[in-house]
Amino acid sequence: MSKSRREFIKISALSFGGLVMANPILNAMIGQVQAGEPIDASKIKPVPTYCEVCFWKCAGWVHTDEKGELWKIEGNEDDPHCKGRFCPRGTGGLGMYNDEDRLKSPLMRVEVNGKQTFKEVSWDKAFRFIADKMNQISEEHGPESLALFKHGSGGAHFGKLFKAFGSRNITAPSYAQCRGPREVGFHATFGANINSPEPVDLENTKCLVLIGNHIGENMHNSHVQEMSKAIDNGLEIITVDPRLSTAASKSVHWLPIKPATDIALLLAWMHVLVTEKLYDKAYIDQYAYGFEDLEAHIADKTPEWAEEITTIKADVIRETARKMAYHAPATLIHPGRHVTWYGDDTQRLRAMAMLNALLGSWGRKGGFYFPEKAKVPSFPHPAYPSASWTWKDYLDGKYALAGSSIANVFVDASHPDNKTDKKIKGWFVVGTNLISTIPDTKKTLEAIDNLDLFVVVDTMPMEITGYADIILPECTYLERYDDIRVSPNREPNIAVRIPAAKPKYLTKPSDWIVRKLAEKLKLSAHFNYKSYSEVLDWQLKQMGFSLAEMKERGIIKFDRKNANLYLEEGEEYEFGTPTGMIELYSTDLEMEGFDPLPNYTPHPEPPAGFFRLNYGRAPMHTFGRTANNPNLNELMNENKLWVNPKIAKKAGIVNGQEIWLENQDGVKSEFPIKVRVTERIGMDNVYMVHGFGKSNKKLKRSNGRGISDSQLVTNVMVDPVMGGTGMRGNFVKFVIDKPEREVIS
């Protein structure tokens, strides 16, 4: 980065002087959460919202006290996402609002005495700058050369602006860096996507199989609740994980598998079900395509074969397969969420889908239910102009099965190495810290350097903001309206978000930012309202309700159109695959030149002295967005490196000791991490929670606390089927003494 045109600016160097200090709201903020007697509940007027700390979007009520200050947030009893109970991150969501390290004013990159720095600017100036650059890019390259990376509710507003401007190059890292392979793998099998929340019928599940899925450490709220309810009803859990995760600790069978060998285990499980005739024959006969091919394919994939590869004993493989069959179809192989591991992830997820198929759990009680979603009319706007090219054209047929845009491909299209005529020259990054979400940061930074415009919209000074030309401070979800929440579920439902407080400092909601920018771009016709509440009220009135009514209720549930949650006995059913059947043999994959049946391929092992780097979640944090949240930071303010005691002894490191890590490419962690010596992990890997080791000093509570796993993920294995970025093939060794720090300028 030394020759970077767009130097990283540590926001700590900025003064938030004049503009913000003069803002009276700041003074009101100081001393806000005062300890004292509990509040008199009779004075409380709760405001409905849905949570934005993670993508589960639980609906809840924000309670304010008699002084009008935010006090607490609680789940909405009627909401199927949370059933009246928020998870720790949602409960601590007020910390996002109270965090004094928030972005407070629009900032523009300027050069002072030859040094780049950020300067506070007015919103109007920021908009003029952005609009000019957008028009310039559009004139030179076309409007398609602007790309949007988004995550969360704010991104939706920007999506509309992009479409109105003429670009469909819109992406979210939550696909290719997270759940994409599962969508493709399940779609190839059942002709349907999994989506969010996953339509898993956990509350009725009798046997739950978790493969690298950490319910309880991931707080997918309703699923955690349903799993717990199922435990009361005698649920048996089988967990495949190299580490004793929380879920593993609740399991009847914990299979501490050798990392990167899951497909072998899945094939052997299928082998047992098929050879012992334990699969759901009637279901397979009626619905499945390619059973004989599968039968031949797995004939030699015996448990003994898999034992050699996975280190899981053959008799354990048999016993667990029989247990799944015993409880079928109320046996659920959970599709999981963050599934981009080794580059053959679509195939692994295919194998998981096929195992579900053999057990007959798709469309069955205790397996997968058929979700339904409410229809919300869109607010009238002029037709969007057509775009002359999109990311799909840039890919020119590659990753044809990807059902959604691939964020890393946008980086490629922005990189100087892109020699095609489809170039991306401007980025908006809304609510996603690309530095820790997209692996291969070096490439991302080279792409950023090649841009003519780089706008970041966020609530916090995340690392990515340091590279922006312009930073726009968004207010938190507690201070704004947003789109009506519509999500597939057992019962169709909608929920609203109403501001519980005025935006603090000079922050603004995304809908306002977009509307004002649209004025400068002469696109106001697309945003024909004065407040987003008008849009919501119009939409709700079309549906027979009103915003006023929603303020009282928060959520509305509807009757299902199709009463059946599950397939009826022998029901005729057409699946969304090319054959209309459950494809054990995938014709889609075959067409694209990939294995129509999944195969196990060995993956590289850690070299001597190295350990595979695994990372995961802690229940009180999410996406690295919460590390600085005062409430949640208090519960966990750094990540630790899980190390097996035997390994620790050999390496001469002890519990609590600070060490550094170096990966296979010689990349060293920026900060030290404390060792946590624990029997919960085996000898071939180490583990840490994702989202720590913040390098931006402006994040006072989280800067330099623990380390960032993303920094150490430099080996990225791209999934040839859908372009996902496999991140679990990185190996680290311990560095005991503080390494010399390379100066990053």
Partner 1 sequence: MRYAMVIDTKKCVGCSDCVVACQNENRVPIGYCRDWVIEHAKGAFPNVSIELRSERCNHCENSPCVRCCPTGASHYEEGGLVMVDRGACIGCGACVQSCPYNARFSHPEGYVDKCSFCNHRLKEGKSPSCVSVCPTNCMYFGDLNDSESQVSQLLKNRDWKVLAPEVGTKPQVYYLI
Distance between CA atoms of 627 and 632, rounded to whole angstroms?
7
**Could you please report the per-residue DSSP string of 67-108?**
TS-EEEEEE-TT-TTTTT---HHHHTTHHHHH-TTS--S-EE
Instruction: Return the closest-CA partner of residue 256 out of 270, 272, 239.
Output: 239
232, 292, 552, 740: residue in contact with partner 1 (rule CB under 8 A): 232
Tally the residues of the chain.
745
Does 644 bind partner 1 (CB under 8 A)? Our answer is yes
Q: How far is the CB of 228 from partner 1 (least distance, A)?
A: 4
19, 25, 28, 33: residue in contact with partner 1 (rule CB under 8 A): 33
Residues 85-104, one symbol each (x = binds partner 1 by CB under 8 A, - = not), give xxxx--xx-x----------
Window of 173-181, 215-223, 324-332, 497-505 that interacts with partner 1 by CB under 8 A: 215-223
Distance between CA atoms of 720 and 362, rounded to whole angstroms?
26
Of 254 and 399, the one with the shorter C-beta distance to partner 1 is 254
Of 484 and 681, the one with the shorter C-beta distance to partner 1 is 681
Window of 186-194, 350-358, 501-509, 678-686 that interacts with partner 1 by CB under 8 A: 678-686
Compute the CA torsion angle 394, 397, 401, 407 (nearest 10 deg): -20
Query: Are the C-beta atoms of residues 126 and 470 closer than 8 Å to each other?
Result: yes
140, 634, 658, 665: residue in contact with partner 1 (rule CB under 8 A): 634
Does 627 bind partner 1 (CB under 8 A)? Our answer is no
Decide: residue 347, CB within 10 A, 0-12 exposed, 13-18 middle, 19+ buried.
Answer: buried
71, 158, 427, 623: residue in contact with partner 1 (rule CB under 8 A): 71
Of 644 and 664, the one with the shorter C-beta distance to partner 1 is 644
Window of 100-108, 162-170, 191-199, 677-685 that interacts with partner 1 by CB under 8 A: 677-685
221, 331, 622, 628: residue in contact with partner 1 (rule CB under 8 A): 221
Instruction: Return the closest-CA partner of residue 475 out of 160, 153, 92.
Output: 153
Instruction: Return the closest-CA partner of residue 728 out of 444, 399, 350, 345.
Output: 345
Does 213 bind partner 1 (CB under 8 A)? Our answer is no
Of 177 and 225, the one with the shorter C-beta distance to partner 1 is 225
Both tokens of 444, joined, read 């991302």
249, 378, 531, 599: residue in contact with partner 1 (rule CB under 8 A): 249
In DSSP terms, 453 is beta-bridged to 426
Both tokens of 264, joined, read 């072998």
Does 25 bind partner 1 (CB under 8 A)? Our answer is no
Q: How far is the CB of 224 from partner 1 (least distance, A)?
A: 5
Does 637 bind partner 1 (CB under 8 A)? Our answer is no
Does 217 bind partner 1 (CB under 8 A)? Our answer is yes
As a whole number of Å, the end-to-end CA separation of the chain is: 7
Decide: residue 11, CB within 10 A, 0-12 exposed, 13-18 middle, 19+ buried.
Answer: buried
Decide: residue 595, CB within 10 A, 0-12 exposed, 13-18 middle, 19+ buried.
Answer: middle
74, 78, 295, 662: residue in contact with partner 1 (rule CB under 8 A): 74
- Tally of CB atoms within 10 A around 449: 18
Q: How far is the CB of 630 from partner 1 (least distance, A)?
A: 6
Both tokens of 46, joined, read 């709760």
Distance between CA atoms of 286 and 276, rounded to whole angstroms?
20
Does 50 bind partner 1 (CB under 8 A)? Our answer is no
Phi first, then psi: give them for residue 648, nearest 5 degrees: -60, -45
Which region holds residue 277: left if phi is over 0, alpha if psi is between -120 and 50, else beta?
A: left
**What residues from 334 to 373 belong to the interface with partner 1 (CB under 8 A)?**
none
Q: How far is the CB of 679 from partner 1 (least distance, A)?
A: 5
Window of 219-227, 423-431, 449-457, 706-714 that interacts with partner 1 by CB under 8 A: 219-227
155, 619, 624, 693: residue in contact with partner 1 (rule CB under 8 A): 619
Decide: residue 14, CB within 10 A, 0-12 exposed, 13-18 middle, 19+ buried.
Answer: middle
Distance between CA atoms of 299 and 384, rounded to whole angstroms?
54
Of 616 and 682, the one with the shorter C-beta distance to partner 1 is 682
Residues 133-172, one symbol each (x = binds partner 1 by CB under 8 A, - = not), give ----------------------------------------
Of 104 and 258, the one with the shorter C-beta distance to partner 1 is 258
Decide: residue 328, CB within 10 A, 0-12 exposed, 13-18 middle, 19+ buried.
Answer: buried
Does 569 bind partner 1 (CB under 8 A)? Our answer is no
Relative to beta strand 107-112, strand 470-473 is: antiparallel
**What residues from 382 to 421 belong to the interface with partner 1 (CB under 8 A)?**
none
Does 653 bind partner 1 (CB under 8 A)? Our answer is no
Instruction: Return the closest-CA partner of residue 555 out of 103, 177, 46, 104.
Output: 46
Rg (CA), the chain: 26
Distance between CA atoms of 653 and 643, rounded to whole angstroms?
9
Both tokens of 567, joined, read 């397939």
Does 700 bind partner 1 (CB under 8 A)? Our answer is no
Q: How far is the CB of 550 from partner 1 (least distance, A)?
A: 24
Does 595 bind partner 1 (CB under 8 A)? Our answer is no
Instruction: Return the closest-CA partner of residue 685 out of 741, 620, 630, 729.
Output: 729
Does 705 bind partner 1 (CB under 8 A)? Our answer is no
Window of 368-376, 512-520, 650-658, 672-680 that interacts with partner 1 by CB under 8 A: 672-680
Does 722 bind partner 1 (CB under 8 A)? Our answer is no
Window of 70-78, 109-117, 177-185, 189-197 that interacts with partner 1 by CB under 8 A: 70-78
Of 191 and 259, the one with the shorter C-beta distance to partner 1 is 259
Does 256 bind partner 1 (CB under 8 A)? Our answer is yes
Does 225 bind partner 1 (CB under 8 A)? Our answer is yes
Beta carbons within 8 Å of 558's beta carbon, 6+ residues apart? 374, 491, 492, 493
Using CB under 8 A as the binding criterion, the count of chain residues that bind partner 1 stands at 54
Does 620 bind partner 1 (CB under 8 A)? Our answer is yes
Q: How far is the CB of 41 from partner 1 (least distance, A)?
A: 6
Window of 109-117, 139-147, 248-256, 366-374 that interacts with partner 1 by CB under 8 A: 248-256
Does 500 bind partner 1 (CB under 8 A)? Our answer is no
| Residues at the contact surface with partner 1, assessed by CB under 8 A | 33-39, 41, 71-75, 84-88, 91-92, 94, 216-217, 219, 221, 224-225, 227-229, 231-232, 244, 246-247, 249-250, 254, 256, 619-620, 630-632, 634-635, 644-645, 678-683
